[in-house]
Amino acid sequence: MRIVKSIKIVFKYMKENKKRSFLAFLGVGIGVLSLCLMFGITNSMKEKVNQEMAGLGSHLLIVTAGKLKFTGGRMRLISQATTLKEKEAYEIKEKILHVVDVAPFVSFSMPAHTIGGNREFLSVIGTTPNFFYIYNMKVKEGKIFSETDNRNLKRVMILGIEAYNKFFGNSSLKNQQVLLFNVPFKVIGKLDRRGTDISGNSLDNKAFIPIKTALKRMLNRDYIDAILILVDKEKNLKITQREIEKYLFFKHGKKDFTVMPYSKLAATQEKTIKIFSKLAITISTISFFVGALGIFALMTISVYERFTEIGIRRAFGARKIDIILEFLLESFILSFLGAIFGVLIAILLQALICKIAHWPFVPYYKVIILSMLLSSFLGILAGVYPAIKASLLDPKKVLYTS
């Protein structure tokens, strides 16, 4: 019954000091919010990478023209080469064991516009129909260009859903055209939403055209940028990688290329995730202690404000433990309610961010529980000194000075 009575007194005091209580409550809430939100986003980013890996990354190799090196937390092209050819992709498929499929491609950017005047600087990939199979990309409307379109250098284009919306909004696919550097391309397909690939590049904001059209009509060159290679089993990646390296070295006479598991391109995102995690810990730690300091300040002030009230209660039989319990309950309730508020807002914000970024929504429940426990502990800890100070007030002196 004493606890129930103390809780009533606590809520009464909080009601009388709404602004001060709210600021203390908000300080704790922000600490919990920052921790839960940042770890939640990190968790969603990790899950996105894992999904990409499970879907295709663990079975893919990528051959790039030139040398790639992992520096500064990401893969960088440190030297370029013009020796990688489209036909070598098909030779690899024919001659190398365990290779299921290949997709040579080139990538470039060009100014583009529609007849209606919508202009964008468009990221373009020139590739083969196999690219869509390897990447597991589905058509929302229309169709994918064929190998016949590729051989005949057809000016046809498939747009990612975001790129399509920028040019045409909700308009029908029928009779749509995009002019790449004033060269007209018929839009024959709109892709379903795919999101980012394993390296963090958005596939929804790109245009796709046949590789031969890209090489001969747009770029006027005979070399490609890279080859995607689908391997039958993950365990065969290393041996297939070695065989491809031997084959290309024999063809080129030097190692002017890089063959690596496609999953290594996830290094950029993994680095970002690690930095984000460290930032989350730093910000949330500061926020937690600021919140605890707010509760400490509130409770200390309340000792002096309730000077007379405490003295009267002590004179009428209230024990020291009752006063201590009341103050500790107040600091606990403020921190616990602040933690609940922070968790709820963090979950809502994470859900919103994941929806916008097309990431899986995966709350980090361990961090949610830990943050609530930690905030409650810090809240109680912040109330210890004011509670003891209040309990040590001499009722005779209090009443005499009052």
Does 183 lie in the same domain as 215? yes
CA separation for the pair 197, 56 (Å, rounded): 10
Does 372 lie in the same domain as 249? no
Dig out the tokens for 103 from the structure. Answer: 């997709």
Dig out the tokens for 46 from the structure. Answer: 């990790």
- Please report which confidence band the pLDDT of residue 191 belongs to, taking 50, 70 and 90 as the band edges: very high
Whether pLDDT at 343 is above 80: yes
- Chain-centroid distance, C-alpha 295: 33
Does 206 lie in the same domain as 277? no
Q: What is the pLDDT of residue 43?
A: 81
* Of 214, 233, 255, the domain-final residue: 255
CA separation for the pair 175, 187 (Å, rounded): 8
Does 273 lie in the same domain as 241? no
Does 98 lie in the same domain as 20? no
Q: Percentage of residues in the chain with pLDDT exceeding 70? A: 75
Residue 323 domain-assigned? yes
* Of 255, 280, 303, the domain-final residue: 255
CA separation for the pair 152, 333 (Å, rounded): 73
From the list 372, 370, 371, 365, the residue with the least C-alpha distance to 350 is: 365
What's the Cα-to-Cα distance from 321 to each of 11, 318, 382, 391, rounded to whole Å? 19, 8, 17, 7
- pLDDT average, residue stretch 54-73: 70
CA separation for the pair 180, 380 (Å, rounded): 65
Mean pLDDT, the chain, rounded, equals 81
Q: What is the pLDDT of residue 220?
A: 93
Tens digit of each residue's pLDDT (9 = 90 or more) over 368-386: 888 888 887 877 777 776 6
- pLDDT average, residue stretch 276-303: 72
CA separation for the pair 367, 369 (Å, rounded): 5
For residue 62, count other CB atoms closer than 10 A to its CB.
19
Does 219 lie in the same domain as 92? yes
- Please report which confidence band the pLDDT of residue 264 belongs to, taking 50, 70 and 90 as the band edges: confident
Does 119 lie in the same domain as 33? no
Cβ neighbours of residue 270 under 8 Å, at least 6 residues apart? 49
Dig out the tokens for 164 from the structure. Answer: 């399509």
Q: What is the pLDDT of residue 87?
A: 94
Please work out, in degrees rounded to the nearest 5, the angle formed at the alpha carbon of residue 176 by the alpha carbons of 172 and 182.
155
Whether pLDDT at 357 is above 70: yes
What's the Cα-to-Cα distance from 177 to each of 167, 258, 380, rounded to whole Å? 10, 37, 66
Q: What is the pLDDT of residue 88?
A: 95
Whether pLDDT at 283 is above 70: yes
Does 139 lie in the same domain as 31? no
Tens digit of each residue's pLDDT (9 = 90 or more) over 41-63: 888 877 776 666 555 556 889 99
Domain range for 349 is 2-52+269-401
CA separation for the pair 350, 327 (Å, rounded): 34
From the list 39, 90, 42, the residue with the least C-alpha distance to 63 is: 90
CA separation for the pair 156, 130 (Å, rounded): 16
